[in-house]
Structure 1
């Protein structure tokens, strides 16, 4: 039996919830009465409820995010019908700001804001049979150094099989209107000595994959340098992920980034748009010259794996302008270019553009834009399909040599958009297209629609796809793959497995 169950529904098993561990670590004397239970989107709602209620809890705290809000609504419904006496408390980004667009009225309490102190206090009151009368509890940002750290709560299984999420600071100094992080402009760093001691404790237990959730890791160069130095001192292979702003790389940080061995460093670089007027529309600072210089440095002087973001549907940005942005980024970086679709998150100020730019959004999570005054609904649907196919072809790493054949005239966006339209016409799907089938479709398009010879396309695909056994590939590709030396096939298998692990993360 546990008086308190802390739970959430993660997108995947590999994603361990840092938020639940923060809450548990700061329950104080209530810790012995609490337990963490994590689930994933593939789990059945009734199975989750059964396992939660097995402990006969008095309080169930659930973390709500954009990816699980609909499932949480169902879970709360089951819990309150089966065990109406159980107090259900919700917290997390999806319930921290008004309006609440998923009906969560069956929950007993909602904590809005950072919940470490508020949740512990609420649990004490409920267990003492003195529950508060207000349903929505507003929680102010906490003093981060007053919190008990959560990192010892990662289990040995977590360390062996899951991403280890850590944070060296909270808040973001920038005011990008589409982002929830802009709501908290005061950056609050954790005491660096204590933080690094926690990292060392994880390291000694075998942790080798660290994903920092700081919104702007390089905003505080002094803090960033100490963390980079910590990892650079390690001789054992590891992997560390930082989210960085693209126009703020002081020379000292550049020197450190250049020293990371291949395969150890991943940088998520938030671009979103390369159009100065669009950036101004959404209060995003944009120093284009510095962005180009820094991307060139990262490409030329480091071995970091880059993950660069662009957003479709920003107010005032047409499809043509988005296409120019994509073309420019492809010329600037060999890294992944993640094409996202604008979302309207409660609490952000992006809604101020709704009338002027005709912004229309889905009422359901993830609240993606449906159309605006520059991009119609049908065009937006096509762009969403393009983003998915871009992941399969470009970001997957499986077609480094063949993908550029789609845009031999130099217009990346136009070339890929043509392929995207054709591919959807052939499949009427954006999911469950296996790699052999995708290879066959790419071969067919390049030969039939682009006029290339079977041999030149097969040569390119054979160089890319060394691990496909040819069971559904065009015969000419099978023949080329079969002639690839065994040692190259082995190398290709190794590279593809590493790419699959990266994309799972």
Structure 2
């Protein structure tokens, strides 16, 4: 039995619930009366409810995000149907804005808006004492030195099999209108020494994969440098560190540390979103494009950093032609990953002020993606959505590192070339999911040899190398027949989490080819506690 159940509905198993671990860590004397249960989106709501009720809780806390809002609504409805007296408390970005109009908030007993680290423990005590707090509570912004760090809540299984989310700061100094972070007050930093001590304890326990969720890790150069030096001096083979970086802020004092990390151990996620200055100004996004490009060039030429760059399609005032130009410009900068995102209307963000002028029409259901606007009609937006998915399967998965660039020849637009392939593939497959890797390879071979008229022996050899690099032994016989000599030996399968295996593929390709090789791209996983655009 447990008086309090914190129920996490995660996007995937590898994404642990960071926010709920904060809640448990800050419950004080209630911590031992609390259990954290984690589920993924593949679990049936009724089975989730059964697992929760087995603990006979008096309070259930659930974090609600765009990726789990639908499932969370069903779970809450079932909980209140079966146990009307059970107190259901919601938090998270999805219910922190436009709260009262949401069915899930109407079903729940209480909703905490904002950072609930300290507000949830207060509410839980009041409920256990029989008090009747308000339905909606706005959490005062906690002083970070008063917040207990959650890292002891990671289990040994978490350390072995999952991404470990950590943060040295909260908030964002920028005001990009599509992003929930634009609603935050200026950046706040956790006390550095306790944070570093917590990292050391995780390392001592065997932690290998750290993902910093700070929105602007390199904003405070002194703190960023201290953390990077700490990680560098304690680095061991197999450790991996992910940071979200401001792309136009990479001064000498950071560069000197960054270049010392072994290849493939750092990943920088850089949010570019648009290369159109007018569009950027329209959504209140500030960035220095010349400095951004120079920084990406430096990272590619002088470091082993894995670069993950983001673009968003569907921004107000950005046409397909403008997005295509930005996409091609980004490909030329050769990041290892390009995340092709579709604009989402996140609750509470000021992007809605452009709805009337630019005819912005969004899906009313999570994740609230743009359906069409004045410059991009619905059929074209659907083509872009398929482009994004196929980019994930082909250019982003790491399965076709050498083959994917054959889709765009020199002097041809990578964007329009891949769009042609995307249209062709959809005409064949009539779907964007559940395409087996060998079948996808067959379609690639057919398109490259028949439509793009590449030599079949060269395409087959390239596909064979890609399959061997990924440890795949199921290259289709129809392709193998064109491979001259024995097929390349397949690499041994790895044991790292899926995203680090993918990055290892990119690193192996980079080590064996010159820096001038074409861009290699992958897409990030959904499911961190942020739930918003970068």
TM-score, scaled to structure 2: 0.90
Q: Which residue of 2 aligns with 1:460?
A: 462
**Partner deviation per Cα, 1:314-352 (whole Å, 9 max, x = no partner):** 010001111111101110024110000000011111001
Aligned twin of 1:232: 232
Tell me the residue number matched to 1:48: 48
Aligned equivalents of 2:276, 2:27: Cα separation in 1: 47
Q: Residue 348 of structure 1 aligns with which residue?
A: 349
Determine whether 1:472 maps to 2:476: yes
> Match of 1:284, SS?
coil
**Where do 4+ consecutive residues of structure 1 move more than 3 Å?**
99-102, 467-473, 491-505
The question of whether the paired residues in 2 share the 8 Å contact of 1:437 and 1:473 is answered with no
Distance 1:344 1:17, change over 3 A: same
Q: Secondary structure at the match of 1:217?
A: coil
Quote the offset at 1:17 in angstroms: 0.9
Quick one: distance in 1 between partners of 2:494 and 2:149? Answer: 40
Question: Which stretch of structure 1 is more off in the superposition, 454-463 or 251-260?
Answer: 454-463
| Contact 1:439 1:473 survives alignment (8 Å) | no
1:425 equivalent in structure 2: 427
The structure whose RCO (Cα within 8 Å, separation 6+) is larger is 2
- Match of 1:442, SS state, is helix
CA contact (8 A) 2:243 2:268 kept: yes
In 2, Cα distance between the equivalents of 1:495 and 1:85?
44
Q: Note the residue ranges of structure 1 that are not aligned, 5 or more in a row.
A: none
Q: Write the distance in 2 (CA, Å) between the matches of 1:362 and 1:188.
A: 34
Q: Is the 8 A contact 1:343 1:369 kept in 2?
A: yes
Contact 1:69–1:102 at 8 Å: present in 2 too? no
Q: What is the deviation of 1:70?
A: 0.5
Contact kept, 8 Å, 2:467 with 2:475, in 1: the verdict is: no
Q: Which residue of structure 2 aligns with residue 119 of structure 1? A: 120
Instruction: Check conservation: 2:309, 2:335, Cα contact below 8 A.
Output: no
Instruction: Give the Cα–Cα distance (whole angstroms) in 1 for the partners of residues 269 and 217 of structure 2.
Output: 10
Aligned to 1:321: 322
Distance 1:481 1:305 in 2: 33
Residue deviations 1:407-433, cap 9 Å, x none? 113310110000000000000010011
Q: Determine if contact 2:162/2:497 at 8 Å carries over to the other structure.
A: no
- Paired residue for 2:440, among 435, 438, 447? 438
CA contact (8 A) 1:465 1:492 kept: no
Aligned to 2:528: none
| 1:117 Cα deviation after fit | 1.6
Quick check: 1:273–1:279 contact (8 Å CA) kept in 2?
Answer: yes
- Aligned to 1:395, the other structure's residue is in SS state coil
Deviation at 1:492? 8.9
Alpha-carbon offset, residue 386 of structure 1? 0.2
Match of 2:78 in 1: 78
Q: Using the alignment, how far apart are the partners of 2:11 and 2:488 within structure 1? A: 39
Question: Do residues 255 (structure 1) and 256 (structure 2) align?
Answer: yes
Q: Is the 8 A contact 1:306 1:335 kept in 2?
A: yes
In 2: Cα distance, 1:10 partner to 1:482 partner: 47
Q: Deviations over 1:117-167 (max 9, x none)?
A: 2111111111111121x2110112110111111111111111111111111
Helix, strand or coil at the partner of 1:270: strand
Aligned residues: 501
Matched, 1:273 2:274: yes
Q: Which residue of 1 aligns with 2:284?
A: 283
Cross-structure match for 1:338: 339
**Range 417-426 or range 22-31, more displaced:** 22-31
Distance 1:54 1:471, change over 3 A: same
CA separation in 2, counterparts of 1:121 and 1:495?
40
**Structure 2 matches for 1:60-99, cutoff 5 A?**
60-98=60-98
- 2:242 is aligned to 241
Post-superposition offset of 1:499: 3.5
CA contact (8 A) 2:264 2:503 kept: no
The match for 1:309 is 310
1:100 CA drift (Å): 5.9
2-side partners of 1:492 and 1:324: how far apart?
Answer: 38
Q: Which residue does the alignment assign to 2:377?
A: 376
The secondary structure found in structure 2 opposite 1:373 is: coil
1:451 Cα deviation from its structure 2 partner: 1.9
Aligned equivalent of 1:412, options 392, 411, 414: 414
The change in CA–CA distance for 1:99 and 1:317 in structure 2 (over 3 A counts) is farther
* Residue pair 2:494, 2:501 contacting (<8 A) in 1 also: no
Distance apart, 1:47 and its partner CA: 1.0
Q: Secondary structure at the match of 1:111?
A: strand
Paired with 2:497 and 2:184, the residues of 1 have a C-alpha distance of 40
Aligned to 1:61, the other structure's residue is in SS state strand
> Distance between the aligned counterparts of 2:280 and 2:477, measured in 1?
44
> Normalization by structure 1: what TM-score?
0.96
What CA distance in whole angstroms lies between the structure 2 residues aligned with 1:456 and 1:404? 13
Corresponding position of 1:145: 145
Aligned counterparts of 1:494 and 1:138: Cα–Cα separation in 2 = 43
Q: Distance in 1 between matches of 2:231 and 2:113?
A: 35
